[in-house]
Structure formats: structure tokens, C-alpha cells
Amino acid sequence: MDAPTVTADQVRAWLGEVPDPEIPVISVVDLGIVRDVTVAGDGACVVTITPTYSGCPAMDVIAEDIERALRARGVDRLRIATRLSPAWTTDWMSDAGKAALKGYGIAPPVQQVIDISALAHGVKRHAIRPPDVACPHCGSMHTRLTSQFGSTPCKALYQCLDCREPFDYFKCH
Ligand SMILES: [Zn+2]
């Protein structure tokens, strides 16, 4: 008898239950770091992940968490591959993931609109202004950046000027 083989869809569903170690309300799938799941003809499973940013210390933990979760499901032959290019972007975060972030009190990434019209006129590019971020607590847009780095380098620290609550903003990149 052949050993029961798993399908890529099944593995992906299991990975949807593996939380990000830094933000436990969001899964590694919703975060967008699981780029590919393949099951080879011999039943070996390959999970390809892309770090949220180079040198993110959580990546080793994430790889271990993925391995532990899949082994617990009986996936014995497993390989975790790291793909660095193309680089992870916050666009890969699912809508469910962004909603979970907000519910957790972290403002999800917003599209950063950079005005390049000045470039056409030979004007030097302006320093990139911090994005307008809605307060995850009260929804106010009346917020200000207080620190480029929040609780982790992936996040910036903002404060709401209406409800006065500080909050983390998950930076776009
Ligand atoms: Zn607020």
C-alpha cells in the first residue's frame, strides 16, 4: 500500500492555521509569505516562503512553525524553500489578513501614493511623506507618525490625535 499522500490544497489549508509569531491573529498564508505549495510525485511536500523583509528575525521561527504544524499532520517528507525574489510586498497580504490586523489594533498597510509629477519638471524628489493612516481604534484619520520603528522594524509607531491611543502601523514595502 502506498502511504497516503497530501494535496497542495490540503497543505495550504493547514498552513492557514499557522499564525504569524509576531501577530498571532494573522496566518502565514494571510500574511502572504507562503508563496507556493507543491507536492511532488513521490509525495514530498515543498513549501516556498518569502520573508516579509530581509533579515526579519521571525522568519526562522515561521519556518519552524510551518514544519512543526505539517509534521503534526503527518507530512513527513517536507522541504521549506526560501524565495527572496520577487521581494515580499504588503500587497500580498490578504483582505482577511488586513482586517485581522486592524482588529488586533495594528493599522494595516495603505497604498502609498508618491507624487512623481515634480520629477518631470526637473524638481528633486521630495522626501516621502509618511502615509495617512486611519486609527484602528476609532477610525480617525487625525493621526501622526511618532516613530519610524514600532514594536518591530516591520512597523511604525503612530498616535491617534483624537482618541490619543498609540498604535502600530504595518509598513508598506
Ligand atoms: Zn483613535
- Shared domain for 64 and 16, answered yes or no, is yes
Per-residue pLDDT tens, the chain, 173 aa: give them. 455 578 999 999 999 999 988 888 999 999 999 999 999 888 899 999 998 765 566 778 899 999 999 999 999 899 999 998 888 888 899 999 999 999 999 999 886 555 555 555 554 444 556 778 999 999 999 999 999 887 777 789 999 999 999 999 988 66
- Shared domain for 85 and 113, answered yes or no, is no
Kindly give the distance from the C-alpha atom of residue 138 to the centroid of ligand 1, in angstroms, as a whole number: 4
pLDDT of 121 reads 53
User: Which one, of 26, 27, 71, 81, lies nearest residue 51 by Cα?
Assistant: 81
pLDDT of 117 reads 54
- Shared domain for 74 and 129, answered yes or no, is no
Kindly give the distance from the C-alpha atom of residue 141 to the centroid of ligand 1, in angstroms, as a whole number: 8
Quick check: is 3 in a domain? Answer: no
- Shared domain for 24 and 81, answered yes or no, is yes
Alpha-carbon span 55 to 111, nearest angstrom: 23
- Shared domain for 37 and 80, answered yes or no, is yes
Question: Which residues, by Cβ under 5 Å, contact ligand 1, an ion?
Answer: 135, 137-138, 140, 160, 162-163
pLDDT of 54 reads 58
Kindly give the distance from the C-alpha atom of residue 112 to the centroid of ligand 1, in angstroms, as a whole number: 21
pLDDT of 1 reads 45
Alpha-carbon span 18 to 25, nearest angstrom: 10
Kindly give the distance from the C-alpha atom of residue 167 to the centroid of ligand 1, in angstroms, as a whole number: 9
Q: What is the span of the domain harbouring residue 67?
A: 8-91
Q: What is the largest CA-CA distance in the chain?
A: 71
- Shared domain for 87 and 47, answered yes or no, is yes
Could you give the 3-state DSSP secondary structure of residue 21?
Answer: coil
Kindly give the distance from the C-alpha atom of residue 143 to the centroid of ligand 1, in angstroms, as a whole number: 8
